[in-house]
Amino acid sequence: MRQLTVLLVEDNPRDVRLTQRAFTQAGLAHDLRVVRDGDEALAYLQREGPYRDPHTSPRPDLILLDLNLPRMSGHELLRYVKQDHRFKQVPVVVLTTSGRPR
């Protein structure tokens, strides 16, 4: 069975560890790739910089996206992903937390 490549876009190390643990405990066959902000995610998706090699930076089958990111926001990244024909069909699950009551 082929492992799914999951791109986790998350700047909080604690949330990254929580996601890694949840995937492991669920026994999901996955290849979890982690980037820390919207700019890094964009570089990953466009295969730029350290993400040029498709063998070490495979296209994601699923994107887990925190909306509250430094630099490029999760909202901006989501807009890019859904407008780019290469990624339109990639499911994006939005994960976010906030201390604000609204």
Question: How much is the pLDDT for 11?
Answer: 95
Residue in the block written with tokens 């890094």: 40
Identify whether the C-beta of residue 38 lies closer than 8 Å to the C-beta of residue 69: yes
The alpha carbon torsion through 73, 14, 40, 95 (nearest 10 deg) reads: -40
Which tokens hold the place of 78?
């989501």
Residue in the block written with tokens 């290849």: 31
Could you name the CATH architecture of 4-95?
A: 3-Layer(aba) Sandwich (3.40)
Run of H or E including 93: strand 92-95
Distance between CA atoms of 37 and 70, rounded to whole angstroms? 6
Convert the pLDDT of each residue in 60-97 to its tens digit: 999 999 999 989 999 999 999 999 999 989 999 998 77
Question: How much is the pLDDT for 95?
Answer: 85
Identify whether the C-beta of residue 49 lies closer than 8 Å to the C-beta of residue 43: yes
pTM: 0.91
Per the document, the length of the chain is 102
